[in-house]
Amino acid sequence: MTYLVTGGTGFIGSYVVRILIQDGEQVVAYDVAPDKSLLKHLMGKEKSDRVIVIPGDITDLAHLIRSCQEHNVETVIHTAAVLVAENPWWVTQVNCVGTLNVLEAARILGIKRVAMTSSVSVFGPPDRYKEEYISNGAPHFPRNIYGASKSFNEACAMQYFTDYGLETITIRLAHVYGFGRTNTGLGRVIDEELFTKPALGKPGSVPYGDDTHNFIYIEDAARVMVMASRVGKTRTRAFTAGGGIHSTAEIAAHIKSLIPNAEINLLPGLMGWAYKFDTTPVMEEIGYRPEWTIEQGVKQFIEDIRKQHRAA
């Protein structure tokens, strides 16, 4: 089977591509600014050379269609997005118009399945909900343009399923952590200060140090996306997928147990994002359960940071 992975040389996309290549699939990585360094880090030059890399912007519908046609794409895993909420026009162009283009290209070409990343940021703050664990089908109360764009994308995917029968599956990912984040935004700042700097012997100052998150390791995030691209018909179209619930202080303490001389300063403050979710539907309908514990994920993250540093 031939897959097109949007954002295919980015953070989540690269891990998705690795799984597909390991499974013997043909993969086209479609990316606005391709950089194969993470792919090479993850699977070596020989395997990464099997990936067809196409420079392309998802806001360019014609180019997207041509790329799918030329390579006989059968399934799309859509991970491309921007996280910088301070630029509403850019976020809307890429996340909303770009996603509509992905869906429209699939409709025009008769592509079998589109699996798309969404985000738990669609839910906003936990105080908007009466239940402790937010249900999979709960209403959305996004706090910024990024969360709103993801909520819009879920509605578009549902519309394409309802109107055209396009098999769309959307996965709302919790806080993804792990080596190789290339995008901007708060997630990268947290990864840099909480993981990368301590791993390299530098002091880290972590914003919103009083927070608690639902952490999902990047390997699990990529795996659930691939599972979503292969599952049969589901009752549900958008699923929440998480990992484990941990405070920032708990993560910092674990890092210090691995790196006793680590200097991690937790800055006071709360982001106030929801972190407790009912993930029963994704378990029952897709079969996803997190495989990486926070201890395993943090250890691997630190090893990858140091491996990359030694190779630099």
Q: Cβ-count burial of 247 within 10 angstroms (0-12 exposed, 13-18 middle, 19+ buried)?
A: middle
pLDDT number for residue 258 = 96
**Is 257 within a domain?**
no
Determine the structural domain holding residue 44 and report its residue range.
Answer: 2-177+217-242+272-290
From residue 166, give the alpha-carbon distance in Å to each of 106, 111, 132, 236, 281: 8, 8, 34, 14, 20
Angle of CA points 195, 196, 199, to nearest 5°: 85
- Strand 175-177 to 75-78 pairing: unpaired
Q: CA-to-CA distance for 24 and 191, rounded, in angstroms?
A: 31
Per the domain annotation, does 108 fall within a domain? yes
The span from the CA of 17 to the CA of 26, in Å, is 9
Q: Is residue 211 part of a domain?
A: no
Under 8 Å between Cβ of 190 and 254: no
Query: 237 — alpha (psi -120 to 50), left (phi > 0) or beta?
Result: alpha
195-229 pLDDT per residue, tens: 999 999 999 999 999 999 999 999 999 999 999 99
Does residue 258 form part of some domain?
Answer: no
Q: Quick check: is 288 catalytic?
A: no
How many structural domains is the chain composed of?
Answer: 1
* Euclidean distance between CA atoms 175 and 119, whole angstroms: 8
The stretches of the chain forming alpha helices (DSSP H) are 11-22, 37-48, 61-70, 88-91, 98-109, 145-164, 186-191, 197-199, 218-230, 248-258, 280-281, 294-311
Q: Residue 185 domain-assigned?
A: no
Q: Which CATH number characterizes residue 52's domain?
A: 3.40.50.720
Tell me how long the chain is. 312
In this prediction, the residues of the chain whose per-residue pLDDT falls under 70 are 85, 183-184
Note the pTM of the prediction, 2 decimals: 0.97
- As a whole number of angstroms, the distance between CA 181 and CA 218 comes to 10
Q: 303: closest CA among 244, 243, 217?
A: 217
Active-site position among 3, 15, 30, 146: 146
Query: How far is 208 from 215, CA to CA, in rounded Å?
Result: 15
Domain membership of residue 32 (yes or no) is yes
9 in any annotated domain: yes
Say if 259 falls within a structural domain. no
